[in-house]
Amino acid sequence: MSITIRPALKDDLDAISKIAAIVAPHTTHLPYIHPGEYLDEYCKHLYDDYHSYIRNAPLDKYMVMVAEIPNPTTPLNPQSKIIIAFAVWSKLPKFLPHKHEKTTDLTYEEYTKANDDDKSSTAALQASLDKSPPPLRPDDNYDAMDRDEGYWKIKFGTRQITLIDLSTSPDYWRRGAATKLLEWGMKLARRGGKAIKLISTPFAKALFAKHGFKEMGNLVIQLKGEDEKLVMPSMVWDPKDEIREEEEAQDETNEEKEVEFQTDEKKEAEDEVSEEETETQDEIELTSSQLLQRVEENEA
């Protein structure tokens, strides 16, 4: 299957929104954040969400890429294609106002753990919930996401790209579309020396791990007083790790070559000693033979 990658256009909004709506029930987090009938209501607003991403792409704020294949219903028209997957990337502004310290001794899970002192960064929105419940759940999702953002701003500053969404139409799962989109973003990040961070689902974690993403901890989203909670792995890929691993691999190779060189030198030295011993033995045998010959001549 021939898959091509290109930037999304406004004309792609219907296809992108449709894929997002089809994938939503298969995810772990969306049914939790938008339970029951709210999930359907959430999907109705997807068009506006992705329209905002594409509209802001020229401002260098978001990058929306689509994966497409030749349209199987029009095989005689090679120009006709259908979108089967998309990815949304978010880039931080060049001048980032830091709200946190530049370093922390806390682990990811310690930093992002909810506590009683947390104050919602969406107070206005939360207040509106009492008046007119929107199609979303009033839980700790916002605070949890803020804590996740805060941790990575400390660790990477502006040297980071966020993979917001990576979705493939279920009809084309495991065909390589998500891999192509992910590798496109990794190539871009590698060129700019930026790390990629994301909050994965259990289903997608294997794909990210295969491409070198490391699990830093679990982001826990739980409504206070409820037993139900959402646990999602927070993962990161840093091109500096690749450089470090390449350097370590090169060091190991150099060490192996040094050991081989020393082994070869030792073998050559042993061969030289062996040759000298052989020559000495030959000389001894020759001398003994000459002495025996002289004795025989004298006796004669």
Q: Please give the model's pTM, rounded to 2 decimal places.
A: 0.65
Quick one: pLDDT band at residue 47, thresholds 50, 70, 90? confident
Under DSSP, the state recorded for 84 is E
**Closest by CA position to 23, among listed 206, 203, 161:** 203
pLDDT tens digits, 234-251: 899 999 887 766 666 666
Helix ranges, the chain (H): 13-23, 29-33, 37-44, 46-56, 108-112, 123-131, 141-156, 177-192, 205-210, 239-299
Query: What's the CATH fold of domain 4-237?
Result: Aminopeptidase (3.40.630)
223 within 8 A of 116, measured Cβ to Cβ: no
Please give the Cα distance from 268 to 284 (Å, whole number).
Answer: 24
124 pLDDT band (50/70/90 cuts)?
Answer: very low
Beta strands in 100-249 (DSSP E): 160-168, 195-199, 214-221, 230-237
Q: Which residues of 251-271 are buried (b: 16+ CB within 10 A; e: fewer)?
A: eeeeeeeeeeeeeeeeeeeee
- How large is the average pLDDT for residues 207-229? 81
Who has greater pLDDT, 287 or 124?
287
Q: How far apart are CA 185 and CA 65, in angstroms?
A: 9
28-36 average pLDDT score: 63
Average pLDDT over residues 129-154: 54
Strands 160-168 and 195-199: parallel
Diameter over CA atoms, the chain? 135
State what percent of residues in the chain have pLDDT above 70. 54
**pLDDT digit string (tens) for 51-94?**
888 887 766 678 899 999 998 888 777 788 999 999 999 875 44
Separation in Å, CA 197 to CA 52, 186, 189, 266: 21, 11, 11, 50
Write the single-letter amino acid at 55.
Answer: R
Residue with token string 């919602």: 120
- Residue 36: the pLDDT is 63
pLDDT, position 120 = 39
